[in-house]
Each structure stands twice: as structure tokens, then as C-alpha cells.
Structure 1
Amino acid sequence: MKQQALDQQMKVAVVGVHVLDTHVIGVESVPEGSDGALVDTIRMSAAGTAGGTGLVLSRLGAEVSSFGAVGDDAAADTLLALLAREGVDTSALVRKDDHQTSASVIPVRPNGDRPAWHCIGANGAFTLDDLDRARLEGLTHLHLGGPEFLGGPAAGELLAHARGLGLTTSIDVLAPGDPDLLAWIADALPHADHVLPNDEQVLGLTGEDDPAVGARRLVEAGAGCVVLTRGARGALVVTADDVLEVPAYEVDVVDTTGCGDAFSAGFLRGLSLGRDLAGAAALGCATAAQVAGGLGTDAGSYDLGSVLAFLDTARTLTTTAG
């Protein structure tokens, strides 16, 4: 049965935000003036609500094609190489010679805090005109990372087109949530089978104090299902009829950057394998645990088989409510 699951086919387009992350581990403080300081590790990884999710989906056995924009620069060369090394088809990523590739620098402090410097770059220049819709035919899923960059009407148009081709659709916002952002992307929600934010984004988008109540409001706005991550408290799966709590798993945390993208990938892959919503969310939490235990979404050598094995034996964290 497990081998059959490993062979289950999933062909997915990840559309939108692609970022080159540079992680700096062991940052005690920013040096004064022009002084320097030694750190433990500096590492680059492919990231973003489309790029990072696509990378993890590829590790989990999906056939992944990336759609988005990068610059015509060395950062793009690095980002594309990192994605291609993981088996992601990058041929649909367009180069914008008047924009730099989107990039982040993430200094990770010894206590685990991870502030970031970010440049939007070419992600802000990506439009539907850059996407060859004929390349979506024959796929099974479309995941739109960062619908706020396209805007709700364009995002809704893309998702509706994908649904018309028979694809399952999902979205994940990148920006912090606020009511203006919800209004900006509202046209996309009725065409999204799954919306995959974190709890803080849900509270910000809706103004609610309870993540479950906020998620229900997004369902009422048209989303088929809202699956929100809550860090060490796992995930909530909210539909028109149910609210399901799914716990996180114990892991020695190194860096939580990219865990949300990894959860999205694990959840979507779980659905493609025939799992129910709670089972898919459990696979999402197990996948996020692999990323939390390393540096970047591509840390380590996890794949679908190892994540399923982890899921069979891992201990859940006791804090699941609140």
C-alpha cells in the first residue's frame, strides 16, 4: 500500500513568488561601523510561497513546473540551479532584465529569532501575460503562491482557468494579513479549493481574535477549505462544516524558515495520495518538521518515503489547542 502511495502521480504548477534565501546562522549582533564578525554558517536556498513549495513537492514525488519571474542576474542563475537540482522544471520562469531576482537575507540569532531583509524584485513584475496557459494542460494541480502580487481579479482569472482544465487549486499569501489585503485578493477566494495561510495572517485578514472563526470567514468568502498553520501548535483545518485540529511533531528545531511552504507541500501531496483533510494536514506537519530540523527547505535528504516513515513513529507535541 505504501509503495502504491509513493508511485501516485501529481503534476503541479507552482505559480508566483520565487526567492533566493541567504541564511546566516549564529548572528549575535550587527557589527558596528565597518567591523566584521564570524558566524556559524552562511547558506543559500530556493524559497518563496511558490518556489519553496515547489521544491518540497518535488522531493515528495510530484512532477513540478515553476511559473514566475526572476531577474537576469547571478542570483537568478543560483536560484534556477538550486530548483533544477531538486528536479523542478524551471523553463517557464521568465527573466526580467530590468529587475533583480527576489532575495532575502535571514540572520538567525542563537535564540532562534530570524529577522529578515527582503527585496521584492522581479516577483513584483510578474503578470498573467508572462504565463503560457497552454502549459497548464495535462496538470493535476495549480498552487498560487502570493496572489497579492497578481491582485485578486488576475489571480481569480488564473485559478478559474485552472479549474476549467480540471486542476485542483490552492493559494498561500506571503504578506502579513490585514483587511485591505483581504479586499485585494477577495476575487481569488471563490476559485481556490484550499487556502493555506498561517494563524497570524488569518487574524490580520479578518480582524477576528480566534483563528478558527477567522478561517470560517474566509470559507464564507468563497474558499473551499482553509488550512492554517500555528507553529508548534500544529494546524487547523476549517471547512463550512468542520474544524479539525492536527498536532505538530517533536523535532530538534534548527530554523523554521520555509516551514509554512513545506506544510503546504505536504498537505497538497497528502491530498493527491488520497488522504482525507486531517491526514493530509498530518503529512504537512510531518514535512514541516523535516524543514525545521535543518537550514532551508532543501536541507537534509528527506523524501516522501522518509516523511511517511517519520509520520509513523514521531511523537506529537502536547500543545495543540489555544
Structure 2
Amino acid sequence: FNGTEITPELIAQSRILYVGGYLLPPNLTSENLIEVFKMAREANVPTVLDVVTPTQKDYWDDIKSLMPYTDYFMPNDDEAQLLTGLTDPLDQARKLRDAGVETILITCGNQGTVVLSEQEEFRTRCFQVPYIDGTGSGDAFVAGFMHGLLNEASLLDCVVSGSALGASAVRAVGATTSVFTADELNEFISKQSLDAQPL
């Protein structure tokens, strides 16, 4: 897969364009992905970008070139540190926002999420659940966030949905063993709150 398989017709049939694990596929270049994201922007389809940093190397030029074409960028704090060279999640988020991304969300494990957009800057804590295994929790967060987007939720409610689904993933061994269904997610959120602290 190198991105050229994606056509305007495919994008026009989509409600979200999600690229997960970017930097891992060797043939998916930033130049190709920029063209795909440009097609999505022309079609008013929001783009969500997630990364995997497979080695300890400088990925900044790749990421920086993509940011102006990315609506939502969702690294964890370790990935963001490698990308930006900064250790504080808020500093990481500001550097990525300055690079042009519309909304940056940096997940920080049990420390919650840092969120910066043009309209809002806030931090949320995480839901408290019994922790067994963190495998898949980041992917579950992204899925929950996109669930919110597809339901036209506010940015905060999308983060709440992501945080809840991410929390559900850590309750058992395995990436998907304990991940909520949509009904379970909605029930969990209806019984618990997750406040935002302005930055």
C-alpha cells in the first residue's frame, strides 16, 4: 500500500478518512499521503492520522509536511516526544499545532489527554478502571473518538468517547478482549463524567 490506491471516488463515499500506523508502511510516503489528504479536504471528509514510530529516528520533516492537511492528529506522548524532541505533552501539542494541524490530541496513558485546536485547549483525566493490559488501548481511543465524530459530537464528547473506549481495552489481556460495544460505551459514558480542564 502506497496511498495511490485511494481515489477521489472512494473518498467521496466516506465519512472519515483514517490513516493508522503511519510511518510503519515503508511505501506510504508523506508526499503520497498529502495527495490523499488533499482529496479528502476537497470532498469535505475529515482526516484522522495516527502514527507508529518503529525506530528511534528523526521523523519531524515527514510529520511536519502532513500537518497542514490533517484535521486530527493523535499520537501518544512517547510518539510525540520522538516526533518533536520535546518531553512535555503540552509543549509537544503546541509544536504540532504550530506546524498546521487543525486539532492535536496527545494521549498520555493514565494521565489523560491533551487537546489543542483553534477553538479549544483543554486536558482531560482518564477514566478509572481496573488495569490488566494496555495492549490496544490507544487504538481503542482512536476508535472511540471517531465514533464521536461520526455521531457529530463536540470535540470534548469525542475525547470522552475515546477515553472510555480506551479505558475499556485495559481491563483484560488482549487488544480487543474487553473493548466496549457501542451500547456498552454509551451506558458507561452516561454513568461517569470526564471533565475538561482549560489550558
Question: Does the TM-score normalized on the shorter chain lie above 0.5?
Answer: yes
Question: CA contact under 8 A between 1:250 and 1:314: conserved in structure 2?
Answer: no
Q: How much has 1:146 moved relative to structure 2? A: 2.8
Correspondence for 1:222? 100
* Mapped partners of 2:157, 2:172: distance in 1: 24
Whether 1:191 and 2:69 are equivalent positions in the alignment is yes
Amino acid at match of 1:162: A
Partner of 1:116: none
Structure 1 equivalent of residue 15 of structure 2: 140
**Cα distance in structure 2, aligned partners of 1:178 and 1:242:** 32
CA distance in 1, matches of 2:179, 2:88: 37
- Residue 203 of structure 1 corresponds to 81
Matches within 5 A, 1:7-86: none
SS in 2 for 1:146: strand
Sort the Cα spacing of 1:301 and 1:288 in 2 relative to 1 into closer, same or farther, 3 A: closer
> Are the counterparts in 1 of residues 60 and 83 from structure 2 also a CA contact under 8 Å?
yes
1:180 aligns with 2:55: no
Does residue 3 of structure 2 align to residue 128 of structure 1? yes
Higher RCO, Cα 8 Å, sep 6+: 1
Q: Does 1:289 align with 2:167?
A: yes
Structure 1 residue ranges, 4+ long, deviating more than 6 angstroms after superposition: none
Aligned-residue identity in percent: 27
Conservation of the 8 A alpha-carbon contact between 1:216 and 1:239: no
1:192-232 deviations in Å (ceiling 9; x for gaps): 10000001111221122321111111111110010111111
Q: Give the Cα separation in 2 of the matches to 1:195 and 1:266.
A: 14
TM-score by length of 2: 0.86
SS of the equivalent of 2:63 reads helix
Corresponding residue for residue 142 of structure 2: 264
- Where is the strand percentage greater, Structure 1 or Structure 2? 1
Structure with bigger helix share is 2
Q: Aligned partner of 2:114: which letter?
A: L
2 CA distance for matches of 1:315 and 1:278?
11
Distance in 1 between residues matched to 2:42 and 2:110, nearest whole Å: 37
Q: How far apart in 2 are the matches of 1:178 and 1:278?
A: 32
Structure 2 counterpart of 1:253, from 101, 115, 131: 131
**3-state secondary structure, aligned to 2:133:** coil
Aligned CA distance change for structure 1 residues 172 and 223 (closer, same or farther; 3 Å): same
Alignment of 1:81-120 (within 5 A): none
- Match runs of 1:273-288 below 5 Å: 273-288=151-166
**TM-score of the superposed pair, with normalisation by structure 1:** 0.55
The one-letter amino acid paired with 2:76 is N
Give the gaps of 5 or more residues in structure 2: none
Query: 1:131 deviation in Å?
Result: 3.7
Deviation of 1:242 after TM superposition, in Å, equals 3.7
Q: Check the 8 A contact 1:220/1:240 in 2, yes or no.
A: no
Query: Which runs of no fewer than 5 residues in structure 1 stay unpaired?
Result: 1-125
> Is the Cα–Cα contact under 8 Å of residues 178 and 201 in structure 1 kept in the other structure?
no
2:44 maps to which of 166, 171, 182: 166
CA RMSD in angstroms comes to: 2.3
* Structure 2 Cα separation of the partners of residues 243 and 176 of structure 1: 29
* CA distance in structure 2 between the partners assigned to 1:135 and 1:300 by the alignment: 32
Aligned with residue 34 of structure 2, among 134, 156, 176: 156
CA–CA distance in 1 between the matches of 2:133 and 2:33?
31
Letter in 1 for 2:58: D
Please state whether the residue corresponding to 2:149 is helix, strand or coil.
helix
Secondary structure in structure 2 of the residue aligned to 1:167: coil
